[in-house]
Amino acid sequence: MTSDKINGIEKLREEISDLDDKGAAYLSNRIGIAAQIGTHKKVNHLPVYDSNREQVVIGRMTRKFDPDLRERVASVMSCIMRVSREVQYDSVMDEDNDWEPGQTIGRAEDSLPVEPRICCQGTTGSYSHLAAASGFPDAACMPALTFEECMLRLSDGDCDIALLPLENTTAGTVNDVYDLLTRYPFYISKAITVPIHHKLVVLPGSNVHGLRTVLSHPQALAQCSSFIRSKGLEQIAVDNTAFAVNRLKEINDRAYCAIASGTAGSLNNLEIIEEDICDSEHNQTRFVAITREPVITPEANRVSIYFKLPHQSGSLANILSLIAERGLSLTKIQSRPVPEKPWEYSFWADVSASYGSREVLLMLYQLSKELPFVKFLGWYEELREPIEDHR
């Protein structure tokens, strides 16, 4: 770049800096007045968010500009208005005892049971049972046929924790569990990541070249899809990897095999003829411990919420900006269809959040006041590394 071009751009940058300096006084005064308005609203029990008023302000400003600039000006003003609301919520929240996530957090226990009764989908040797043994070594574990049976047993008080798989690094999310968490009034109280090392389990005396059909859970089949294709195996889905091993014994046909943990195969006196058949060598599943009442331990480092958005342009972008402006890290966002409203979607979001963080509380408070629906799903310890390697 020539010196003339450099000097030219530097001159323009200086002009921008001068304008920024002038704008700093405007922003400082505006935020200060917004804080005063927040105090007035608090004293008079008025809502912070007034969408009609904001549209009037944004419309008045945009009309001062040429039509080709109005959309950009509206975007800038929307950001300024959002920041102004954040300042007001900072003032109002402490005086408001009537917001649902805050009430839930306030009544939360600070520890999980020492020897919990855990319900897992699958029998001994399933990955759910292995996750329970890793995360809760003193727990009594009971089997269930389905994910929903685990939730029903939790609802009936038959167990203290339902431990369910939520997502896998290879096959993605377990949608059924997401849906159950949004339907039942329960909470995530801990998350555990477990390495998954699928084995090819066969009847004694079986030969890999004589196999025709493989049994396993749909997620396990998806996680081993390349291996299955390479062997030309027909797939039969069952409810659990451990159930697949049981079914293999019942069929008692050497043309059948199962994909399961080595523990499940060994417990049933079956043979393992192929090791680590996952498509990815770093295959891991994240399990969540679900409780009837909220539990927030001092180790809590993640918040999960489920929410629906208003039918407004840019509403999701505004939520993402709100989270970022609070200095919080969004670790996951997942869309889910709304069955009763075709082509509408709700969202699940995870935010990295230290125990007791005021910024988290302010985020939850603002979302609860501005969105049509917010469900607090938990503030819990997310074990960041796999805690035990089950080979």
Could you tell me the maximum CA-CA distance found in the chain, to the nearest angstrom?
83
333 vs 17: CA distance, rounded Å: 36
Burial of 257 from C-beta contacts in 10 A (0-12 / 13-18 / 19+): buried
CB 69: neighbour CB atoms within 10 A? Answer: 11
Of 104, 193, 285, 291, catalytic: 285
Number of alpha carbons in the 13 Å side-chain half-sphere of residue 213: 14
Q: How far is CA 162 from CA 119, 142, 152, 284, 389, in A?
A: 5, 10, 9, 19, 22
Active site residue 287: yes
Helices within the chain (DSSP H only): 3-43, 51-62, 67-92, 100-106, 127-135, 147-156, 175-183, 218-223, 225-231, 241-251, 262-267, 315-325, 358-370
Helix (H) or strand (E) holding 166: strand 161-168
Of 186, 243, 287, 376, catalytic: 287
Per-residue b or e along 164-173, where b marks 16 or more CB atoms closer than 10 Å to that residue's CB: bbbbbbbbeb
What 3-state DSSP class applies to 343?
Answer: coil
Ramachandran angles phi, psi of 144, nearest 5°: -145, 155
Active site residue 227: no
Q: 29 in the Ramachandran plot: left (φ > 0), alpha (ψ -120 to 50) or beta?
A: alpha
| Residues known to be catalytic | 285, 287
